[in-house]
C-alpha cells in the first residue's frame, strides 16, 4: 500500500513539473519587503518600466 501511495506521489510530482517547471522553487526565494514595495510603487504598468523622478529604468534582454 505504501508503494502505491509513493508511486502516485511521484506521478503527480512529475506531472506538476511537466506543466509548471521549477515554479515550486520560487517558494524558497527570500524577498526583501522594502525593495518589493518600492518597486511596486514606482512601476509604470502601462509602459512596463520603473520611473524614479525623471529617470526611467527599462528592463532589457541580453542576447
- Answer yes or no: is pLDDT of 61 > 80: no
Nearest alpha-carbon partner for 43 in 35, 34, 52? 52
- For 20-34, b where at least 16 C-beta lie within 10 A, e where not — what string? eeeeeeeeeeeeeee
The total number of structural domains in the chain stands at 1
Here the cell at position 60 is: 532589457
Residues 48-63, mean pLDDT to the nearest whole number: 78
Asked if the structure places residue 63 within a domain, the reply is: no
In the three-class reduction of DSSP (H, G, I as helix; E, B as strand; rest coil), residue 18 is classed as: helix
Task: Pick 43 or 30 by higher pLDDT.
Answer: 30
Asked if the structure places residue 62 within a domain, the reply is: no
Q: What is the pLDDT of residue 63?
A: 58
Per-residue pLDDT tens digits for 4-27: 888 888 888 888 888 888 887 888
Here the cell at position 49 is: 518600466
Which residues are within 8 A (CB) of 52 and not within 5 positions of it... i.e. 6 or more apart? Answer: 42
Asked if the structure places residue 50 within a domain, the reply is: yes
Q: What is the pLDDT of residue 10?
A: 84
Amino acid at each position: 500500500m505504501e508503494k502505491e501511495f509513493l508511486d502516485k506521489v511521484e506521478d503527480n510530482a512529475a506531472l506538476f513539473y511537466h506543466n509548471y517547471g521549477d515554479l515550486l522553487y520560487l517558494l524558497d526565494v527570500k524577498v526583501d519587503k522594502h525593495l518589493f514595495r518600492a518597486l511596486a510603487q514606482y512601476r509604470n504598468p502601462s509602459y512596463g518600466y520603473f520611473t524614479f523622478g525623471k529617470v526611467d529604468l527599462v528592463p532589457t534582454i541580453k542576447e
